[in-house]
Structure 1
Amino acid sequence: MSVPAFIDLTETDQIAELQQYLKSRDIKVVEEGELFNDVKQLIISTAEIWKDTDGKDIEGVVNSILSLLFVIPIAQGSELVDLLCEQLFVGAENGKAPVSLNLLHNLFHGYPSKTAFLYKVYCTWLKVAKISRSIHLVPTNLKELTSWLESWDVGEEGKQNVLRLLYEAQMTCGRNKDASPTMVALLQSYTEDNASKAREDAIRCITKALADPNTYLFNELLTLKPITFLEGELLHDLLNIFVSGNIKEYDEFYKANKDFVESIGLSHASNTRKMRLLSLVDTLGSAREITFRDIETRLDIPEAEVEAFIIDAIQSKLVRGRIDHVNSKVIVSQSCQRTFGRAQWEELATRLGQWRDNINQVFSRLLSLSHM
């Protein structure tokens, strides 16, 4: 992406104008007479204008500094970029987050994407996006981000830091659906040797997933090394219930561990709703219909609430079907699989075999007809 040209002046004239502007604001500016040092002093002095200057004026000044910064060889740019990032983050904290966000966009796209110090720029961009609740303005595609991280050569800890910052920004901005794969990517970056270091991330991953009203399938979480390190703890037991347990198991767990469930910020009412929906999926199995009476008794739902529960199940997309009011039952066209293990693969293989046989039979009949 090209960055706009901010000022049509020589570097020397541009520096002189910026110095004069800062002096007119009674801001001390050290004049060095050399491009790198002059730009460094401009960045240091510009920190003063964030306090009581209009955002558009700040943006104009810093964009002018950026155009100078891009002239300096990349090999010398790291120190200056670090200084500027710190300034933009402080500015965001002091109420100028939209301005900082725009400037970070220009700074990031002003260099080739493989430039190592863009790691610092991107981290700052995520922090500012969290403050301004504007993560949608930052490129967050995980495939693209992984490519950048490899180019920046930041190692596993650097990668984990970025993914953690991205996850926090996405959660703050209400983008739970995007945050989930980010957290999974973060936990996948740990090995058995260092998985214990991700304990807090693993706990947060589980609690956020269980609390999310639109997340129902949790089997993938059990495969993540940091989560396996929690085995034997109450949270891991609770996760297992959501993966493959039923409403009765959850009720028993809650009665025995009510304080624990409340201490990790989970709502018993929300948990109960989710476990009833998941238990319905198990109750259906491969069945193509179920009566209101069966739902009421098997899931312990009051008769007056059964129809609303069915509508909730259909809206959640765990079940596809329609309500047969005349016969008080649900006609099911499809229901999801809570887990997909060996048994499910074998069932899929059987169905594909049946489909292949049926196709072969049709083909044979068509072939025989063509020879008549």
Structure 2
Amino acid sequence: MQIPPVFIDVSLEDQAVELRSYFKGLGAEISEEKSPKGIEDDLHKIIGVCEACFKEGNEAEVELVLNDIVSIMVLIPLERCENIIMAFCEKLVKAPGQKIGMVCLRVLWLLFQSLDESSTIRYNVYYHLVLIAKQTDQVKSVFQDIDHLKQQFVKCPPTNEQLQKLYRLLHEVLLNCEESEQAAKVMIELLKTYTDKNASHAREDAIRCIVSALADPKTFLLDPLLSLQPVKFLEGELIHDLLNIFVGENLSAYLKFYNDHKEFVTSQGLNHEHNLHKMRLLSFMQLAESTPELSFKVIEKELQLKPEEVESFIIDVLKTKLVRARMNQAARSVYVSSTMHRTFGRAQWQQIRDLLYAWKSNLSTVQDGMKQVTATQLEFLNQA
């Protein structure tokens, strides 16, 4: 991105003097004289009082002034400017109100894009961008998905500790914005940053990951969580037992667990009614895997529904697109054409393999048939 000019044909020092004078005019405690210690000291002092412009309420002017500071800052060698950049980030995070917060978000994004891609300070700027995005409810303008995030740091990847700190923040922000699916993906990435050596230290992160996945109404494939090393360290604990129920057990197993551990489920911030609905959906999927035709009576019994609740439940199932089926109200039954598997292991891969082989065999048969038709037509033309 092109860096915006500040004052054309004016030295950095004179530009700093102009900014000093501007903030002095706003009543900030700053001298109008340039610092004898150099431009870095000038910027430190300017940034120290830059919040004075926030009080003006003129977003366009605030953005212009802050961009002026950025355009001076990025012209100073980075090794002399890291502390200045951090101080600037801290000031912008404290900006009051939605409108000024949005200005600060744009200014900090400009700073982030203006920094060299191999610079380690870009991580700190991005972290503060997420903080401001949290305050302004604008996370989508900063974070698109995990792949996009990784692309931002190809030339200078953050350390594991930095990634863990960032992922925790992103997870919190995404949950607050009701982006539960992205939040779950971020949490899985967080757990992947732990190795066998330090996975035992990831206990709280692993619990949060499980709880988020269970609470997310759009997450149904929970089996991959069991392979994450930090989750494995929870084996034998109630949260791991509950995860296993959602991975492969039925509604009755969940109800037994809930009756035995009501306080635990509540303490995790999980809603029992939401859990019930999700387990019914998962149990239906399990039934549909082995029985393509399900009567209302079987659904009512297995999912512990009242007779008048069955039809509306089936409609809820179809809305999730987890199952393809048609409902025959006259026959009081459901005909399932396909369903998503709750777990995806060796048996499912074998099933895909068998389907592909069958597809290949059918194609060969069609090809042989076409060859025979073509040969017959050629023979007929030759005879004519």
* TM-score for the superposition, normalised by structure 1: 0.94
- State the partner residue of 2:280: 276
- Partners of 1:70 and 1:110 within 8 A in 2: yes
Alignment deviations for residues 259-310 of structure 1 (CA, whole Å, 9 cap, x no partner): 1111111111111111111111111115432221221122221110000000
User: What is the Cα deviation at residue 228 of structure 1?
Assistant: 0.8
Task: Pick from 225, 231, 237 the counterpart of residue 229 of structure 2.
Answer: 225
- State the partner residue of 2:332: 328
How far apart in 2 are the matches of 1:258 and 1:139? 37
- State the partner residue of 2:23: 22
- Partners of 2:74 and 2:114 within 8 A in 1: yes
Residues 127-142 of structure 1 correspond to what in structure 2 (within 5 A)? Answer: 127-142=131-146
- State the partner residue of 1:310: 314
Does the residue aligned with 1:331 lie in a helix, a strand or coil? strand
Residues 35-54 of structure 1 correspond to what in structure 2 (within 5 A)? Answer: 35-50=39-54, 54=58
Task: Pick from 32, 39, 45 the counterpart of residue 35 of structure 2.
Answer: 32
- Partners of 2:181 and 2:216 within 8 A in 1: no
- Partners of 2:293 and 2:334 within 8 A in 1: yes
Alignment deviations for residues 3-40 of structure 1 (CA, whole Å, 9 cap, x no partner): 43344351343222211112222322253142222222
- State the partner residue of 2:380: none
Residues 206-217 of structure 1 correspond to what in structure 2 (within 5 A)? Answer: 206-217=210-221
User: What is the Cα deviation at residue 53 of structure 1?
Assistant: 5.3
User: What is the Cα deviation at residue 75 of structure 1?
Assistant: 2.7
Alignment deviations for residues 188-218 of structure 1 (CA, whole Å, 9 cap, x no partner): 1111111122111111111111111121110
- State the partner residue of 1:364: 368
Decide whether aligned partners of structure 1 residues 9 and 16 sit closer, same or farther in structure 2, where only a CA change above 3 A counts.
Answer: farther
Alignment deviations for residues 323-365 of structure 1 (CA, whole Å, 9 cap, x no partner): 1122111122211111111111122222222222222222222
User: What is the Cα deviation at residue 231 of structure 1?
Assistant: 0.7
Residue type matched to 1:24 in 2?
A: G
How far apart in 2 are the matches of 1:222 and 1:294? 30
Decide whether aligned partners of structure 1 residues 263 and 119 sit closer, same or farther in structure 2, where only a CA change above 3 A counts.
Answer: same
Decide whether aligned partners of structure 1 residues 61 and 9 sit closer, same or farther in structure 2, where only a CA change above 3 A counts.
Answer: farther
Decide whether aligned partners of structure 1 residues 122 and 93 sit closer, same or farther in structure 2, where only a CA change above 3 A counts.
Answer: farther
Task: Pick from 108, 114, 119 the counterpart of residue 112 of structure 2.
Answer: 108
Does the residue aligned with 1:330 lie in a helix, a strand or coil? strand
- State the partner residue of 1:90: 94
Residue type matched to 1:18 in 2?
A: L
- Partners of 1:2 and 1:109 within 8 A in 2: no
Matched, 1:160 2:164: yes
Decide whether aligned partners of structure 1 residues 309 and 94 sit closer, same or farther in structure 2, where only a CA change above 3 A counts.
Answer: closer
Residue type matched to 1:4 in 2?
A: P
- Partners of 2:6 and 2:15 within 8 A in 1: no
- State the partner residue of 1:251: 255
How far apart in 2 are the matches of 1:149 and 1:67? 22
Task: Pick from 181, 185, 188 the counterpart of residue 185 of structure 2.
Answer: 181
Decide whether aligned partners of structure 1 residues 333 and 73 sit closer, same or farther in structure 2, where only a CA change above 3 A counts.
Answer: same
Residue type matched to 1:157 in 2?
A: E
Structure 1 runs not aligned, ≥5 long? none
Residues 68-83 of structure 1 correspond to what in structure 2 (within 5 A)? Answer: 68-83=72-87
RMSD: 2.0
How far apart in 2 are the matches of 1:371 and 1:50? 83
- State the partner residue of 1:5: 5
How far apart in 1 are the matches of 2:136 and 2:104? 10
Alignment deviations for residues 55-96 of structure 1 (CA, whole Å, 9 cap, x no partner): 443322221111111221223221110110111112258984
Structure 2 runs not aligned, ≥5 long? 377-384
